[in-house]
A and B are shown apart, each in its own frame.
Chain A
Amino acid sequence: MFQNLWPVATLAAVLAISTTLARAHEIVGNRFFPATLTIDDPGVNDELALPTISISKTGDDPSFKQLDVSGELSKRITDAFAVSFSPTWSRLYAPGGPAMTGAQGFQNVETTFKYRVIKNAEHEFIMSVGLSIEWGGSGAQGVGADRFTTYTPSLWFGKGFGDLPSSLDWAKPFAITGQIGYGIPGQSKTTTASIDPDTGEIGIDTEFNPRVFNWGGSLQYSMPYLKSAVVDLGLPDFINRLIPIVEFSMQTPVSNTLTSGTVTTGTISPGLIYVGNTFQFAVEALIPVNRQSGTSVGVIGQLHFFLDDIFPNTIGRPIFASNVSTGNPMFGR
């Protein structure tokens, strides 16, 4: 009986995994947008997120514990265009997996092409567009990796509130980021044959692969911004490097939903980001928004390196970089 739920479990697992892949960071005027964990942020940069570790209980019936360990390398081709690669290794604890005895292996590799279209320092606004491709068949089916490729055109934005009037100084460290995307499977349905262990009869299962609207965002309060741009309260350095944040990441199947249903799944993730000069470290809770999204609160943590700061003259710069040290470099952004 539970084995019949495997296609649904697969979809849920893939949707969950898809929320923990790509990340970036960005500086726009006074504003530092940190790399976020459950959604991608609008930044285009050279960076390495390694590792990102999450553990949660899935929304399947029966629910099972899932451990994900992922990494992401993002490389700028030009100042405004980057390509990233994101492998993820998963372990599903029993009763997860096709045989309900647990499973482990890599998810499909994801590649994201992102182009920054707007970067306005005065209003601390940034917007990027891009395409994410989850390469079908590059991962293990046992952990739910699809055999088909999924294409997700996306839009990301970020807005800091440093341009508020001085009467609202307390709100200037706030910033929001957002992400919307539309996941399009490369094939509309997946047909699998299975043998009933009791009768020996061959059964055919057809799973319709839905198109999914991915939407998410974050609300963050930057203590570094408070100290350097609003008011220096003389707080300890550790406090001045923190960014309290709440992220949300949702997935809504919107078409071809005959077998998947149309229930929105996702997580709300409050947490803290510590920003160093060349890295950031973040921990967030993963709170499922409903039963289909999970059965208990999970946790996600990430260590993230700013390659543009660590290796500014080699792998941390765009392949086709503009030379900032010649001409008039006085900040004509």
Chain B
Amino acid sequence: MIMRKNVHILIVSTFLCGTPTFAEAHAFLDHASPRVGNTVTTAPKEVVLWFTQQLEPAFSSIEVRNEQGATVTAGKATAGGDRTQLRVPLKALPPGSYKVIWRVLSVDTHRTDGSFTFRVGP
């Protein structure tokens, strides 16, 4: 009886203690440059996104659109850093509001997507 109880404790302990070892997760946006919802005075040359998990770059993308819905990116998104970073070059941006739409696949095959805006202007 005691042995059986100990086995149960061992199983639960192993599970809980093992959690960080196995941990991967959905990739959420951690922060961005330009910062989410903020206004920058000089037009950025690229958008850089940092995620909470590593990405599969081939299946991850960034779109940036102006207020008319036109794409203002100047190339494809590429991974950087330790594959938690995704960046995309931009055309010259006039003052205005821009929407960043990101879609990523984390290395454990979870899909996530999201969007935010930033402004260029005084």
Q: Which of A211-236 contact B (CB under 8 A)?
A: 224, 227-232, 234
Interface residues of A in 314-333 (CB under 8 A from B): 324-325, 329-331, 333
Please state if B116 and A229 are interface contacts (CB–CB under 8 Å). Answer: yes
| B residues less than 8 Å from A231 (CB atoms) | 36-38
Q: Is the CB of A232 within 8 A of B113?
A: no
Q: Looking at the complex, which one of A121, A230, A310, A329 makes contact with B59 (CB distance below 8 Å)?
A: A329
Number of interface residues of A (CB under 8 A): 32
Residues in A whose Cβ lies below 8 Å from that of B109: 312, 324-325
Q: Which of A282-333 contact B (CB under 8 A)?
A: 305-306, 308-313, 324-325, 329-331, 333
The yes or no answer to A30 lying at the interface (CB within 8 A) is yes
What residues of B have a CB within 8 angstroms of the CB of A330 in the complex?
A: 59, 61, 103
B19 touches A (CB below 8 Å): yes
A166 within 8 A of B: yes
A330 to B103, CA, bound (A): 8
Q: How far is the CB of B80 from chain A (nearest CB, A)?
A: 19
Alpha-carbon distance between A232 and B35 when the two chains are bound, in angstroms: 6
Tell me if A61 counts as interface (CB < 8 A to partner B). Answer: no
Q: Does B110 contact A (CB under 8 A)?
A: yes
Does any Cβ of A come within 8 Å of B32's Cβ?
yes
Docked pose: A312 CA to B115 CA in angstroms: 25
Q: Known contacts A230-B116, A277-B25, A309-B26; is A331 also within 8 Å of B36 by CB?
A: no
Q: Which of A32, A169, A309, A324 has the most CB of B within 10 A?
A: A309
Complexed CA–CA distance, A228 and B49 (Å): 10
Query: How many B residues face the partner with a CB closer than 8 A?
Result: 33
A27 in the interface (beta carbon within 8 A): yes
Q: Looking at the assembled complex, report how far the CB atom of B14 sits from the nearest CB atom of chain A, in whole angstroms.
A: 13
Determine the residue in chain B with the shortest Cβ distance to A308.
B110
Q: Once bound together, how far apart are the Cα atoms of A30 and B35, in whole Å? A: 16
Find chain A residues with CB under 8 A from B30 CB: 228
Is there an interface contact between B37 and A309, defined as CB atoms closer than 8 Å? no
- Given A224-B28, A309-B24, A312-B109, also A277-B53 (CB < 8 A): yes
Q: How far is the CB of A277 from chain B (nearest CB, A)?
A: 4
Is A259's beta carbon under 8 Å from chain B? no
Q: Residue of B at shortest CB range from A237?
A: B30
**How distant is B20 from chain A, measured CB to nearest CB, in Å?**
8
Given contacts A308-B110, A324-B105, A330-B59, are A277 and B36 in contact (CB under 8 A)? Answer: no
A220 to B115, CA, bound (A): 20
CA distance A32 to B109 in the complex (A): 18
